[in-house]
Amino acid sequence: MSGTLVLVRHGQSEWNLKNLFTGWRDPGLTAQGHDEAKEAGRKLAARGLKFDIAYTSALARAQVTCRHILDAVGQPDLETVRDLALNERDYGDLSGLNKDDARARWGEEQVHVWRRSYDVPPPGGESLRDTGARVWPYYMHVIQPHVLRGETVLVAAHGNSLRALIMALDGLTGEEVVRLELGTGVPIVYRLNADSTVASKEILQG
């Protein structure tokens, strides 16, 4: 029995637009972000996808994205589970700072290490490995069992929480995953085999 897992990074947020480190802060979506989320839903509806359950983070930008998608596929009342295990990576002391200002304060090289290394956290925050340490168990114990029963599951979350999940699904190394770019509002459709391996992966761009 093959199940389907759909991953979607939230639409553009107000802080994405302002080039700010967001992390666990909770800005809303921009007008473009709302449009991206609705378009993600239309793409999934065009594929005839219907969901058995949806998961999202404790942050509004992911929750609103999830709601737009479910509205577009005609399932506005679908059971939706919100959990901070799916939250964005916590950027700690960088949260709320403009990325250029952070470079001016700590230096370009140091900020690059915090942003693009796998296991070096910013001050008071999480590395990508730390993010994975909460995402992976939640996926294994809560989300994956639905997929392995042949269900179709939506996960609307964040760039780094989804990077961590894709790392596990695609078998990426730490060096590979930090180079992975995820577009806002772009659905990624996985079909999983009964043994949890990936049967197919499709990115619904354009």
Residue tagged active-site, from 10, 39, 68, 158: 10
Burial of 146 (0-12, 13-18, 19+ CB in 10 A): middle
Q: Which two tokens stand for residue 187?
A: 């659905």
CB 201 within 8 A of CB 189: yes
| Torsions phi, psi for 29 (to 5 deg) | -85, 150
Residue tagged active-site, from 36, 39, 88, 126: 88
DSSP state of 10: P
CA distance 99 to 155: 28
CA distance 2 to 7: 16
Q: Catalytic site residue 10?
A: yes
Q: Catalytic site residue 176?
A: no
- Active-site residues, by number, are 10, 88
